[in-house]
Amino acid sequence: MEIVKRLEEIPSSFKLGLILGNFDGVHLGHQHILNQVKKKCENEGAKTCVMTFEPHPLVVLNEHKNFLIMTTNQKRKALRNLGVDFLIEMNFSKKLSQQSPEDFLTKDLFPVANISWFFLGYDFRFGAERAGDFHTVEKFVKNKAITLIQLDKYVSKKEVAPSSTLIREKIKSGDITKANDLLGSNYRLEGTVVQGDGRGRTIGYPTANLNYREENIIPLVGVYKTNAIINGSLFKSITNIGYNPTFINTRTIKIETHILDFTSNIYGETIELEFLERVRDEMRFSCRDELILQIEKDISRTYS
């Protein structure tokens, strides 16, 4: 998959099938849409091209924190695995958000002549005040050699339509198993391992402290069964998200992971935590021994 900033960077010799969207989470609904696009492009001898925005429009317009399901790198990896040929990461700004749908189509979406198919999700909207929709594009391409295709809505076997909004709600409420069902994969949080206070090591349960990006969504405070993905290898782990009430009771959420059967020094390394299920609420313990006993119970219960 080749990553570019604008359509003009893609060689004009390629015939393109283009789809526009944010694709935060690349969930089951996104996968359904992209599989349709990929199949059509393969049948027509065209390249599959996805145009998305960086940063996410809602982050720019509303200055959201703890919002994104995926980092840019995670999204790139997911789209690459789905067989996307070209990924256009258009820079999103408040100025771009103020463009009319027609100006956006003229200046940014169709400045080249090699787009043969343009795909839109059933509910996708764009342009100032989100005024642009399928019918806007339909009028625009009426006299052009472009085939416009509106993609159908995906509904799971449980008759639930996956959406990034719903998945965010499930993650924030701690319903990781439901979020994972809607994603079609396990939710992963990416970050860098930083030096902590070292208290975990003194009680026999050293932890990796994750310095995460503030724009990425964080699950509800509590203890989770997780996997730690380190340099491509997967290790069983148990993760506490919270304020460390037993010792210091910070105002900042900390993410601390005890990785089972792991002794390597990973300070400064970027890792992913794969969330599998919520084990319990965060608790305050009266003494160190009580905490140790609970950790032992958590590990035994989670990995018995």
**pLDDT of 210-256, one tens digit each?**
998 888 999 999 999 999 999 999 999 999 998 876 656 667 889 99
Per residue in 102-160, pLDDT (tens digit) is 998 888 888 777 899 999 887 788 888 888 888 899 998 888 888 999 888 777 666 67
The dotted CATH code for 186-303 is: 2.40.30.30
Q: Work out the mean pLDDT of the chain and round it to a whole number.
A: 89
Phi-psi region of 163 (alpha: psi -120 to 50; beta: other; left: phi over 0): beta
pLDDT of residue 167: 96
Per-residue model confidence (pLDDT) at position 48: 97
Three-state secondary structure readout of the chain: CEEECCHHHCCCCCCEEEEECCCCCCCHHHHHHHHHHHHHHHHHCCEEEEEEEECCHHHHHHCCCCCECCCHHHHHHHHHHCCCCEEEEEECCHHHHCCCHHHHHHHHHCCCCCEEEEEECCCCCECHHHCECHHHHHHHCCCCCCEEEECCCCCCCCCCCCCHHHHHHHHHCCCHHHHHHHHCCCCEEEEEEECCCCHHHHCCCCCEEEEECCCECCCCCEEEEEEEEECCEEEEEEEEEECCCCCCCCCCCEEEEEECCCCCCCCCCEEEEEEEEEEECCCCCCCHHHHHHHHHHHHHHHHC
Structural fold of domain 2-150: Rossmann fold (3.40.50)
For the chain, the domains span: 2-150, 186-303
The whole-number average pLDDT for the span 27-49 is 94
Structure token digits, residue 9: 């960077």
Distance CA(51)–CA(6), nearest Å, equals 9
- With a cut of 70, say whether residue 199 has pLDDT above it: no
pLDDT at 269 over 70: yes
Q: Are 149 and 40 spatial neighbours (Cβ–Cβ below 8 Å)?
A: yes
Beta pairing, strands 115-120 & 86-91: unpaired
Please report the pLDDT score of residue 151 as a whole number: 85
Give pTM, 2 decimals: 0.90
Exposed, middle or buried: residue 13 (CB in 10 Å: 0-12, 13-18, 19+)? exposed
Q: What is the pLDDT of residue 158?
A: 66
Residue with tokens 């005040």: 129
| Mean pLDDT value across residues 50-65 | 85
Provide the terminal-to-terminal Cα distance of the chain, rounded to the nearest Å: 41
